[in-house]
A and B are shown apart, each in its own frame.
Chain A
């Protein structure tokens, strides 16, 4: 295992909505210094901040606002630190979501979050699907092109700027952005911590962004 990972601090936001147990252990196994973010601290002090999540967008956003985390995350981002959003965590990075009405997100990446059309595929969309590279990226290097990752979601991200799209995933006639990057902000619609060895490779690559 890379020694580089050992010096890197990762903090996970516990939105209180779901299982972060697996994510914690996956990152810990790689060798990162992992802990759960103490939401009472005035500042976010870490190398990488992970926003995980399965659950509802408005509920998660309310949690962030109530704890003043939306501001703290933006301050953290201004310091050019790494932010990694998984699934709902990726969706929260965008401007707004149509889940249960129209709700504002963190606006770290411009674009919207939309509901998957039931006519195209079964919703929720659950399972392992291949991701195809849209733009060159060292976080998801070439050897991970067209590999399968695990997804579970009913909404998907629609980034405004095509340059931000790292991978797309096509299921029947439904084609969507499955990973996004803007500078040091990264998001994956799939769950790397649930995607076997390939997923672990993705998590390990986080050190390259620090």
Chain B
């Protein structure tokens, strides 16, 4: 049984200033203003907020600073920021804008020395490495750029290497499970978390409270990152101004507003506590 204190971490993917969400990291839909979501999540008991600029890696740009600044000014829980971070200057920029930690994937996958450098300058606890895992014909590989590029490395070996170098924590994304709300890839997360001496965060597949409880109880993770399951449940907490949005907004126009404002995060934590899981 997992004795760790578990962090519940809403993950907000951002594109052109909007909160977006896709399935298997693809097919993105616009959901609203990330800042509003972050505020409500924090008030409802989220333990940390994770921002990721989804297209930054693809286009080599980084527009997140503005949102980080606005969010950090009002957020009283930790904020991690990632997407397109490629240099020591990029990290400095995010920390100065108000991020507490940065999350990195592609830049570390391309050049492990970058991780060494970053840790030397900022310390382990400021650097989270995202490990995207893809399952192809029963074999696991890692990937980068939100599942677009496959890298022929075994996730377990890779995680061990990242830990040895000094990564502060690992954020494990199961690409095959991401956005499907069918539950986590427990066998993979179990293997990785049982071997690790650093915090492991599981991401990809949360669709109900049981899924979240299962992945915690059966592994040795320190946190769960949740996107779709939270975002879709929280949509009706906000008034939507479609005029401000760029991108695929069809989904929002066709969604019925039920006006039922449920505190899902609080309910989730009550559920987990009943199952003897340590949460705040």
Contacts and interface: CB of A to CB of B under 8 A. Distances in A.
Given A124-B199, A128-B280, A154 B3 contact: no
B199 A129 contact: no
B132 interface: no
B77 A21 contact: no
Interface stretch (B14-22, B105-113, B118-126, B253-261): B118-126
19 contacts: A17-B122, A17-B123, A18-B95, A18-B122, A19-B98, A19-B100, A21-B69, A122-B196, A122-B197, A124-B124, A126-B125, A127-B222, A154-B124, A194-B76, A194-B77, A195-B76, A197-B76, A199-B76, A200-B76
B168 interface: yes
A150 B77 contact: yes
A26 interface: yes
Given A19-B98, A21-B73, A172-B3, 16 more contacts: A18-B126, A21-B69, A21-B97, A22-B76, A25-B72, A54-B126, A55-B122, A122-B4, A122-B222, A123-B197, A124-B199, A126-B199, A126-B222, A127-B222, A128-B280, A152-B125
B99 interface: yes
Nearest to A25: B73
A128 B5 contact: yes
B47 interface: yes
A171 interface: yes
A contact patch SS: mixed
A141 interface: no
Contacts of B199: 122, 124, 126-127
Interface residues of B, number: 36
Contacts of A129: 5
Interface string B216-248: 000000110000000000000000000000000
Contact of A128 (B47, B76, B97, B125): B47
Report, as a range, how many residues of chain A touch the other chain.
Answer: 20 to 34
B5 A124 contact: no
Nearest to A150: B78
Interface string B262-280: 0000000000000000001
A118 interface: yes
Nearest to B46: A196
B7 A128 contact: yes
Contacts of A191: 78
A153 B125 contact: yes
A176 interface: no
A39 interface: no
A148 interface: yes
B169 interface: yes
Interface of B: 3-7, 42, 47, 69, 72-79, 95-100, 122-126, 168-169, 196-199, 222-223, 280
Contacts, number: 94
A171 B4 CA distance: 8
B122 A196 contact: no
A191 B42 CA distance: 16
Nearest to B76: A196
Contacts of A152: 78, 100, 125
Interface in A19-36: 19, 21-22, 25-26
A114 B191 CA distance: 30
Contacts of B169: 124, 126
Contact of A19 (B74, B95, B280): B95
Interface in A116-144: 118, 122-124, 126-129
A78 to B, nearest CB: 32
B72 A127 contact: no
A22 B222 contact: no
Contacts of A26: 76
A22 B126 CA distance: 15
B124 to A, nearest CB: 6
Given A19-B95, A122-B196, A172-B3, A194 B126 contact: no
